[in-house]
């Protein structure tokens, strides 16, 4: 009788553990784990400015150039990429106006494009907005199951922005690190499907930071590799001022239509 009772107890305990193991995590739990394994919210909150210097390369086309990214709290950022044979591209925000300037000319971003670029205002939001400023950008966070890619198991989280199309993020089930994001971004040429793959992280001032990324847009791949990432470096305010061409567009929008 005692053996039977013992076996019954063990069976009940095993069933309980099996039921617990079968309960999937929530999307929020996966995001919270990501924050924890990459340094914690307190570490993120200490960062008031980010400077990232590196290169951008269009794979398979022998095109490679310098890339600089600057961001400070308040939604102010400036990025410049200079690709030989392609041209110089700049984009930024002074905290209010969101813009870009390419070989096609200067342009103000509006609608979904502006919202997705400016919804998060923290210095770390370039890569961490889903984890640290989720409420500002997204209306829904959902666990979307698991997927195995190249032998690794990923937990998927679908995030629905307040403006724009849902994006799916893939977190390594073992490490908890974000490894890829599948999204559809608005652009002057229409909606552009993009898969962003984070190939390498590096610990900088206690924060596990992405330093090598590959953006896949159809047959084209663009690799961004950062050799220098610095937090809380003092940046001049003039860096985030609107260029004259952009300021002219802003002034033109203020004029009443005849």
* 115 part of a folded domain: yes
Q: Is residue 102 in a domain? A: yes
Distances (CA, A) of 9 to 21, 82, 130: 18, 68, 43
Give pLDDT, residue 15: 55
> Does any domain span residue 35?
yes
Residue 139 falls inside a structural domain: yes
Q: Is residue 7, in this structure, part of any structural domain at all?
A: no
Residue 21 has a pLDDT of 56
Q: The domain containing residue 198 runs over which residues? A: 25-247
Q: Which residue has the higher pLDDT, 11 or 257?
A: 257
CATH of the domain at 131: 2.50.20.10
pLDDT for 174: 97
pTM (2 d.p.): 0.87
Which positions ≥6 away from 93 have C-beta within 8 Å? Answer: 75, 76, 77, 99, 117, 118, 240
Residue 3 belongs to a domain: no
Residue 5: the pLDDT is 46
Q: Does any domain span residue 79?
A: yes
Say how many domains are in the chain.
1
Confirm if 49 and 125 have CB atoms less than 8 A apart.
no
Domain annotation covers residue 111? yes
Helix (H) or strand (E) holding 229: strand 220-231
């Amino acid at each position: 009788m005692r053996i039977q009772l013992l076996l019954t107890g063990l069976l009940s305990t095993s069933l309980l553990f099996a039921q617990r193991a079968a309960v999937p995590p929530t999307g929020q739990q996966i995001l919270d784990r990501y924050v924890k394994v990459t340094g914690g919210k307190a570490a993120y909150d200490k960062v008031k400015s980010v400077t990232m210097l590196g290169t951008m390369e269009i794979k398979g086309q022998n095109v490679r150039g310098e890339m600089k990214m600057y961001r400070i709290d308040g939604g102010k950022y400036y990025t410049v990429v200079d690709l030989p044979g392609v041209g110089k591209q700049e984009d930024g925000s002074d905290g209010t106006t969101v813009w870009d300037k390419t070989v096609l000319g200067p342009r103000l971003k509006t609608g979904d494009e502006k919202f997705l670029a400016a919804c998060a205002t923290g210095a770390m939001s370039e890569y961490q907005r889903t984890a640290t400023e989720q409420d500002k950008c997204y209306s829904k966070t959902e666990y979307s199951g698991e997927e195995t890619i190249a032998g690794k198991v990923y937990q998927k989280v679908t995030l629905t922005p307040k403006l724009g199309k849902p994006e799916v993020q893939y977190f390594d089930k073992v490490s908890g690190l974000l490894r890829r994001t599948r999204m559809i971004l608005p652009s002057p040429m229409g909606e552009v499907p993009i898969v962003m793959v984070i190939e390498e992280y590096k610990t900088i001032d206690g924060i596990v930071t992405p330093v090598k990324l590959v953006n896949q847009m159809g047959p084209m791949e663009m690799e961004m590799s950062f050799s220098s990432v610095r937090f809380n470096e003092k940046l001049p305010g003039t860096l985030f001022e609107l260029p004259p061409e952009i300021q002219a567009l802003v002034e033109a929008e203020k004029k009443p239509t005849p």
